[in-house]
């Protein structure tokens, strides 16, 4: 595939450009709002062209896909433009600022007949896939609860719009709670139904929350606890799934790299669970390409991105109101 990068972003520089190239794809251009930054970015990453106007980049008939990794408020208009130009779109999470915008993006892609996917990379990790398989095989019996530990320390080079700009989609809930919502849906195969939550600014957030804790109920009766933060240098990430016949303990698995340990504990003892160590983002691009070729599904579809956004927005509403909220998934549920 031949990709246009929309956004001279850190995530593209650190992971996605390499993931495209590892799949044998080309990155043909980058779009930046700043001509100098775009040019420098293109030079640094060996990208042939840099544009400031999205339409000019989209005019390239040789480009067949667009990767959107701008700040969150830009995803919606940029995705609609790319879809209208007939390009397949891989869009960063959160898909948009509102549920209605996210739904519009998914509907536009369906109407235009292009692939539209959400870059929820954790679904692509060998660790999460192994945990999902253990649950699906009944190895822990009926799932009672899932606890997600995703309180990290936001590295200094990412402490820009995320910690002080609500209009750009800042805050830990749109940044990390969306991932935890997707992980929950991926592992348990059902959609959170109700939410209670609290949020706070605990050192980094200025005008946005930098920490959140919430509890979700699932239609099966399982409960989920999710903890996200930008301010925890030594907490470590992980998740636990507890069932009637066993428990899964996964340490260090809420990460961008194929890291972490998984242990399955049951009546017969403890066993270490081994899993494939492929690159998460390379897998995401491979599955996106298969979907665009009509031979597969993206790891996370547009609908998955709508639902993870719906949960995150509900967590914020519940924290702001102090009340339990039903998750509003909008019309196309």
In the complex, which residues of this chain contact ligand NDP (CB under 6 A)? 7-11, 32-34, 37, 69-72, 92-93, 119, 121, 158, 160, 175, 256
Q: How far is the CB of 155 from ligand NDP (least distance, A)?
A: 10
* Residue 10 CB, nearest approach to ligand NDP (Å): 3
Q: Could you tell me the smallest distance in angstroms from the CB atom of residue 17 to ligand NDP?
A: 12
At 63 the three-state DSSP class reads coil
Q: Within its chain, how far is the Cα of 127 from the centroid?
A: 16
The CA distances from residue 26 to 22, 70, 82, 308, in Å, are 10, 20, 18, 30
User: Minimum distance from CB of 161 to ligand NDP (Å)?
Assistant: 6
Whether omega before 158 lies within 30 degrees of 0, making that bond cis, reads: no
Give 302: exposed, middle or buried? Use CB within 10 Å, 0-12, 13-18, 19+.
Answer: buried
For the CB of residue 215, give the shortest distance to ligand NDP in the complex, in Å: 24
Residue 92 or 215 having the CB closest to ligand NDP: 92
Q: CB under 8 Å, gap of 24 or more: what pairs does 160-167 form? A: 161/71, 162/208, 162/230, 163/204, 163/205, 163/206, 163/208, 163/210, 163/230, 164/205, 164/206, 164/207, 164/208, 165/71, 165/207, 165/208, 166/207, 166/208, 167/73
What is the nearest approach in angstroms of ligand NDP to the Cβ of residue 308? 11
Residue 277 has what DSSP assignment?
-
Nearer to ligand NDP, 264 or 283 (CB): 283
**CA–CA distances in Å: residue 48 to residues 4, 22, 124:** 11, 18, 29
38 versus 192: smaller Cβ distance to ligand NDP = 38
51 bridge partner residues: 31
Q: Which residues pair with 213 in a beta bridge?
A: 198, 227
Comparison of 25 and 242: residue with beta carbon closer to ligand NDP: 25
Q: Which is nearer to ligand NDP, 7 or 238 (CB)?
A: 7
Give min distance, CB of 169 to ligand NDP, in A: 7
CB 265 within 8 A of CB 246: yes
If you write DSSP's letter for every residue of 141-168 in order, what string do you get? Answer: -SEEEEEEEEE-B--GGG-SHHHH-GGG
Specify the residue, 52 or 145, whose C-beta has the smaller distance to ligand NDP. Answer: 52
Decide whether 22 or 144 has the Cβ nearer to ligand NDP: 22
Task: Output 33 or 198, the one with its CB closest to ligand NDP.
Answer: 33
Measured from the CB of residue 270, what is the shortest distance to ligand NDP in angstroms? 31
What is the CB-side half-sphere exposure of residue 228 using CA atoms within 13 A? 26
């Amino acid at each position: 595939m031949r990709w246009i990068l929309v956004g001279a972003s850190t995530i593209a520089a650190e992971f996605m450009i390499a993931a495209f190239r590892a799949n044998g794809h080309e990155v043909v251009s980058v779009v930046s709002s700043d001509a100098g930054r775009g040019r420098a970015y293109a030079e640094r990453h060996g990208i042939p062209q840099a544009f400031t106007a999205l339409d000019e980049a989209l005019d390239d008939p040789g480009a067949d896909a667009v990767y959107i990794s701008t700040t969150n408020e830009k995803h919606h208009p940029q995705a609609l433009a790319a879809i209208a130009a007939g390009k397949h779109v891989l869009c960063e999470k959160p898909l948009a600022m509102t549920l209605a915008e996210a739904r519009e993006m998914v509907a536009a892609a369906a109407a235009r007949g292009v692939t539209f996917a959400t870059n929820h990379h954790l679904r692509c990790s060998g660790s999460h896939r192994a945990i999902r398989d253990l649950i699906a095989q009944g190895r822990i019996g009926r799932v009672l609860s899932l606890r997600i530990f995703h309180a990290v320390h936001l590295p200094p080079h990412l402490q820009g719009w995320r910690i002080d700009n609500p209009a750009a989609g800042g805050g830990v809930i749109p940044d990390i709670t969306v991932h935890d919502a997707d992980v929950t849906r991926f592992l348990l195969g059902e959609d959170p139904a109700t939410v209670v939550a609290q949020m706070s600014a605990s050192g980094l957030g200025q005008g946005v929350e930098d920490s959140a804790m919430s509890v979700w109920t699932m239609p099966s009766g399982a409960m989920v606890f999710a903890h996200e933060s930008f301010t925890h240098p030594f907490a470590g990430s992980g998740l636990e799934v507890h069932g009637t016949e066993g428990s899964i303990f996964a340490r260090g698995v809420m990460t961008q790299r194929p890291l972490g340990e998984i242990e399955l504990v049951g009546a017969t003892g403890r066993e270490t669970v081994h899993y494939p160590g492929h690159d998460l983002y390379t897998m995401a691009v491979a599955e996106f390409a298969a979907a665009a070729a009509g031979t597969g599904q993206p790891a996370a579809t547009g609908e998955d991105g709508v639902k993870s956004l719906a949960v995150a927005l509900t967590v914020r509403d519940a924290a702001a109101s102090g009340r339990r909220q039903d998750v509003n998934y909008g019309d196309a549920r």
